[in-house]
Chain A
Amino acid sequence: AQSVSQHNHHVILSEAASLELGCNYSYGGTVNLFWYVQYPGQHLQLLLKYFSGDPLVKGIKGFEAEFIKSKFSFNLRKPSVQWSDTAEYFCAVNARDSSASKIIFGSGTRLSIRP
């Protein structure tokens, strides 16, 4: 069965620190990959996506993610975090080559930034 694992439940960083949030999925077929963010009191919104092509994708607000097919991973990175990055981050996978869609979200990583 498809699954998505986000290994870090809660990450606490100081401003200007570098960030890497892990995401691993289990599915043998072709996938679309997403990172969504939920800022306090706001809707879930898309940070970035990978469909095909360059495995290093750039999103909004300086975030990027790298798809490593051999490791079934899609880790999120940011070189220097800001206090405004405090939010919940979700990795999501959509199976592309099944006859029906199934979207699996990870359990989320809460990011707290110390000013």
Chain B
Amino acid sequence: ETGVTQSPTHLIKTRGQQVTLRCSSQSGHNTVSWYQQALGQGPQFIFQYYREEENGRGNFPPRFSGLQFPNYSSELNVNALELDDSALYLCASSLEAGYEQYFGPGTRLTVT
């Protein structure tokens, strides 16, 4: 059974640029959630996708957007990057919405 994978591992972008992060969910999981984790903080919920539809959203501006594909993999897009967007971005998949989540290793984004 393949776990949750994320790409890339690290990324450096300049303020104002756009970025796309990718996540492959665990086999059989139809729900993907994205989180932002700043240093020393808990993961902050960005949004969740369930069967290709957004199923919930945290307190993040619209420049954070996402997609889920028919194979349940997912993308997180962030437009107009700001310095405060520098963080570890975590993807987690679950069998169904509300179930326990399985986390990927994260993508470390640095905005300069």
Instruction: Enumerate chain A interface residues (CB-CB to B < 8 A).
Output: 4, 6, 32, 34, 36, 43-46, 49, 90, 94, 96, 98, 100-108
* B100 interface neighbour in A4, A46, A106, Cβ under 8 Å: A46
Q: Give me the interface of B with A, judged by CB distance under 8 Å.
A: 33, 35, 40-45, 48, 50, 55-58, 90, 92, 97-106
14 contacts between A and B (CB under 8 A): A43-B104, A43-B106, A44-B92, A45-B103, A46-B101, A49-B100, A90-B42, A100-B55, A100-B56, A101-B56, A102-B56, A103-B48, A103-B101, A105-B44
Q: Which residue in chain B gives the minimum CB-CB distance to A101?
A: B56
Q: How far is the CA of A64 from the CA of B57 in the complex (A)?
A: 30
Tell me the nearest residue of chain A to B105, going by C-beta: A43
Return the chain A residue nearest B50 by Cβ: A101
Task: List 10 extra interface pairs beyond A44-B92, A90-B43, A103-B33, CB under 8 A.
Answer: A36-B103, A44-B90, A44-B103, A49-B100, A96-B98, A100-B55, A101-B33, A101-B48, A102-B56, A103-B48
Residues on the A chain within 8 Å of B35, using CB = 105
Q: A92 to nearest B CB, angstroms?
A: 8
- Top 8 nearest A-B pairs by Cβ distance? A100-B56, A105-B42, A101-B56, A44-B103, A107-B42, A105-B43, A101-B97, A43-B103
What CA separation (Å) do A100 and B43 show in the bound complex?
Answer: 18
CB-nearest residue of chain A to B103: A44
- Selected from B42, B50, B102, B106, the residue in CB contact (under 8 A) with A106 is B42
